[in-house]
Amino acid sequence: MRTACLAILILLSTGCGSPDSLPTSTALPKPVATLESTLVKRDLVQLIWRVRDGDGRKLEIMRRNDDDPWKHFSTVVPLEGRIRMDDTAVVPGQPYTYRLRIFGVTDGSFLDEVEVSVPQ
């Protein structure tokens, strides 16, 4: 019985089970997206975002025209810290809004939102 008590004493004195020795969180940091470039033509909206802490993570681009409901536009993965989006299904004279968020997140938090007006 004396050996068992000694073993427990050694484990406690070496920090086994103390809060300092517990594993830390491995949650990924939230990506940060910054609009880097915007090109708007009668037949094209091109947006390029610089994304920090997004490597290997899927991001979703959502789109809406005027006051229509939000719709999924595409799922992308940053390449060399950038995302490029080309929308060729735009209508001249119409306003569009694009949102960028982590794919699968439904809590309403977005990394960025961009509004554009397509020329006539």
Q: Would you state the pLDDT for residue 23?
A: 55
Among the residue ranges 34-38, 43-47, 63-67, 107-111, the one predicted with the least confidence is 107-111
Q: What is the mean pLDDT of the chain?
A: 84
Which strands, in side-by-side order, build the sheet including 32-41? Answer: 32-41, 44-52, 82-87
Q: Is it the case that residue 24 has pLDDT exceeding 90? A: no
Convert the pLDDT of each residue in 87-119 to its tens digit: 999 999 999 999 999 998 888 889 999 999 999
For 44-70, letters b (16+ CB in 10 Å) and e give: ebebebbbeebeeeebbbbbbeeeeee
- Gap between the Cα atoms of 103 and 95, Å rounded: 24
- Gap between the Cα atoms of 13 and 104, Å rounded: 45
pTM of the entire predicted model: 0.75
Q: What angle do CA 41, 88, 45 make, to 5 degrees?
A: 40
Q: List, in order of start, the domains of the chain with CATH numbers.
A: 25-117 (2.60.40.10)
Tell me the pLDDT band of 55, cut-offs 50, 70 and 90: confident
- Gap between the Cα atoms of 90 and 30, Å rounded: 30
